[in-house]
Amino acid sequence: MSAPITFVGGKGGVGKTTLAAARALTLAGQGLRTLVISTDPAHSLGDALERGLGDVPVQVAPDLWAAEPDADAAVQRRIAQVADDAQDAVPHEIMPAVHRHLKQAGSSPGMAESALADLLVDRMEEVGDRWDALVVDSAPTGHLLRLLNLPTLLTPWVMGLTRQREKAARAEAFADVVSDRGPDMAEDPLLKRLNERRHRLERAAVLLRQDSQVMLVTLARRMVLAETARAAEQLSEAGFGLAPVVVNQIPGHGTAGPDTVEALRATRERFDALGVVELGLRESEPTGISALRELGRVF
């Protein structure tokens, strides 16, 4: 195993969920305590494994656990946490406005993505302790890129909020001194939470670049290859390690048209240095532990 954390990504419809489950079963078969989770809001990992899944990891095979975090529930938990922190840090009369703002924020674009990223960081930090390996069934390529870059993008934002909160806390502390109430900046719950989040994001950024790899899944089609090539370039430039590219659903010998043959040739050439794993087209989608375990033996 080249990296303990593997993200399986690609364009929608290439079979990445199936391959993520198969990869996880392969790692579990090696005796590694493996967790496979989905960060794609359109969950289908449970369908692939033929098991009902939720937020809490459940064991689905020897040494293999699986989970499908609920993005909406994660958003609501985050909103409740922020509201609790604010309750102790802002005047009582301002709380109705805080609740209105949080309600609007809960439905804003990117909130679910950010909440899922928080859950993912939780699982990443368990690798080496609770899990030996983590396999992430990622959302399509664009979402994967945003997810992987989110800790780096959010850290400056959190640091900015922290500085603003420190300034406000100093002003409050000065007012406390004047009124003889006594300052206690160290107990500021919002400041404490912001600093915790900043340190957490910094750790996540290190884990993503040092202990992770991305396994891109593609098809022998020109347009899919083009998107895969762009994703590979962007990930490499951002410092992420890449596993061999998996070309899925290749038609059998003699049944592939000239466009497919040319796309496969171009894929082999484009990813020659990285490595290419080729998987043939199956008559039916492999689901369930036995079928996925058999598929996982190929790569």
Q: pLDDT per residue over 122-159, tens digit each?
A: 899 999 999 999 999 987 777 767 767 767 766 676 66
> What's residue 228's pLDDT?
95
Do 71 and 115 meet the contact criterion of CB atoms below 8 Å apart? yes
pTM: 0.81
- Asked if residue 183 has pLDDT above 50, the reply is no
Pull the structure tokens for residue 145. Answer: 């890129």
- Provide the domain limits for residue 233: 5-296
> What's residue 283's pLDDT?
85
Q: What mean pLDDT, rounded, does the chain reach?
A: 82
Positive or negative CA dihedral for 19, 205, 133, 270? positive
- Asked if residue 286 has pLDDT above 80, the reply is yes
- Asked if residue 175 has pLDDT above 70, the reply is no
Q: pLDDT per residue over 71-86, tens digit each?
A: 777 777 767 776 776 6
- Asked if residue 188 has pLDDT above 90, the reply is no
> What's residue 154's pLDDT?
64
Report the CATH number that the domain containing residue 129 is assigned in CATH. 3.40.50.300
Q: Mean of the pLDDT values across residues 34-56?
A: 91
265: left (phi over 0), alpha (psi -120 to 50) or beta: alpha
Q: pLDDT per residue over 189-217, tens digit each?
A: 666 776 777 777 788 888 888 899 999 99
Least confident of 190-194, 240-244, 291-295: 190-194
Structural domains counted in the chain: 1
